[in-house]
Amino acid sequence: MKKSFQFLFLALLISTSSFSQSADADTDAKYFFSVVAGFNSVQLHSSGPIFEDTKFNSGYSFGLQFNLFPDYEFQQFYTRAAIYYSKEKSENETPVLIQGEPVRAKGDFSFANIEAFIAYRFAKQATVDVYLGAGFLFQQKITKDDDAYRFIDTDGNEFPIFDRENLSLPLRFQSEGPKAALGPFAELGAFVPVGNKLLGISTGVQYSYFKTNSSAKLNFEKTNLYLRVGYELF
């Protein structure tokens, strides 16, 4: 995952350098870095009964974006690349039977996220620059399986859902949990000038599919609703 972040940072720096080299040209293109933070509400789903009846739980995110308003015939568009950290949770409301005991399932994740996004700007010359777009998100789980996927019994005790060393568990749980997720997202947002800087406000919905191993035979999916605020740094 460190290599992925290093690659993205390098790509952002190269992009910034290439734009700087063309600064003397007659261009109205604008590019800038911004810090972003916000809140999310997540619901986790699974192909089996583990996360079959989950509720939305709140979380948060913060990170860094590289934003670009292209020039000339592409000036109606807005693109960005971003890296950020997110905390996401989801919990099953209906107990399931594991080893004859009713338990509820809980997902508690820390993700390192990389996203790419493109949008259409409705009125680029207006004070409020509104846009609507879509993108693609990759999420790498940085929480250990024992902490990310948990069962909760009727006494409030918690234990891991996936445990390769506990042979008394059903075979599908004698495995590793999903490590990464990816999927599309749609976003509506706007930029508002604050002095000589731009303030960004956005809301959207993400859908992610977890990559799992064949031995678990469980498909995990996630819906994420979010609200974020960003501020131009330089």
CA distances in angstroms from 147 to 108, 161, 163, 224, listed in the order given: 7, 9, 12, 20
- Quote the pTM value: 0.85
Which amino acid is residue 87, in one-letter code?
A: K
Confidence of residue 48 (pLDDT cuts 50, 70, 90): confident
Where do we find the tokens 């999420």?
139
Residue 30: CA count within 13 A, CB half-sphere: 13
Per residue in 128-182, pLDDT tens? 999 999 999 999 999 999 999 999 988 888 888 888 777 777 666 777 888 899 9
Per-residue model confidence (pLDDT) at position 21 = 43
Per-residue model confidence (pLDDT) at position 162 = 84
Percentage of the residues of the chain whose pLDDT score is greater than 70: 84
Pick 16 or 72 by higher pLDDT: 72
According to DSSP, the residues that pair with 50 across neighbouring strands are none
Query: Chain-wide mean pLDDT for the chain?
Result: 85
Is 60 exceeded by the pLDDT of residue 37?
yes
Length of the chain as a residue count: 234
CA distances in angstroms from 230 to 191, 201, 227, listed in the order given: 9, 6, 10
